[in-house]
């Protein structure tokens, strides 16, 4: 049984946020990836379109989520389903870090508005 200890998690940073990676092919996962996201106060990440479904659960804090031009405030305990092809923007307008748990399938990629393609190492 693979157990990934907190001390073994790998941290990545992009667009002002931290992604603490737990489940990936590197750690033994065959189909899914999972990570903790830490979105600092005042962060506004660029909009991006995803190629895989993502499930984002907000563990702590509040976020403004824009999903395909609809903006909603989500709070701790809320879960967001992001379907493949959806465009997502995340903003933390509060004065404290928001913490998420995200799960997706291996192979997640995102495309920014300018056409830049990102294949995040925490999801591949």
Task: Please give the chain's pLDDT, 124 residues, in tens.
Answer: 689 999 999 999 998 999 999 999 999 999 999 999 999 999 999 999 999 999 999 999 999 999 999 999 999 999 999 999 999 999 999 999 999 999 999 999 999 999 999 999 999 8
d(CA 85, CA 6): 32
The answer to whether residue 94 is domain-embedded is yes
pLDDT of residue 1: 60
The answer to whether residue 73 is domain-embedded is yes
Query: 26 phi and psi, to 5 degrees?
Result: -60, -30
The answer to whether residue 66 is domain-embedded is yes
The answer to whether residue 88 is domain-embedded is yes
The answer to whether residue 77 is domain-embedded is yes
Could you tell me the pTM of the whole model?
0.93
Q: Which residues does 1 contact at the CB level (< 8 Å), separation at least 6? A: none
Q: Which residues does 24 contact at the CB level (< 8 Å), separation at least 6? A: 33, 106, 121, 122, 123, 124
Residue that is written with structure tokens 């508005």 in the block: 113
pLDDT of residue 67: 96
Structural domains counted in the chain: 1
DSSP class per residue in 3-14: ---GGG-EEEEE
The answer to whether residue 65 is domain-embedded is yes
């Amino acid at each position: 049984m693979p157990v990934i200890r907190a001390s073994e998690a790998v941290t990545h940073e992009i667009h002002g946020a931290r992604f603490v990676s737990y489940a990936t092919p590197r750690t033994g996962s065959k189909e899914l990836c999972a990570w903790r996201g830490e979105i600092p106060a005042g962060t506004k990440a660029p909009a991006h379109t995803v190629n895989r479904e993502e499930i984002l659960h907000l563990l702590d804090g509040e976020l403004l989520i824009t999903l395909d031009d609809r903006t909603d405030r989500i709070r701790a305990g809320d879960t967001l389903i992001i379907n493949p092809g959806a465009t997502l923007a995340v903003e933390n307008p509060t004065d404290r870090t928001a913490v998420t748990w995200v799960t997706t399938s291996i192979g997640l990629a995102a495309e920014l508005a300018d056409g830049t393609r990102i294949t995040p190492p925490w999801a591949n």
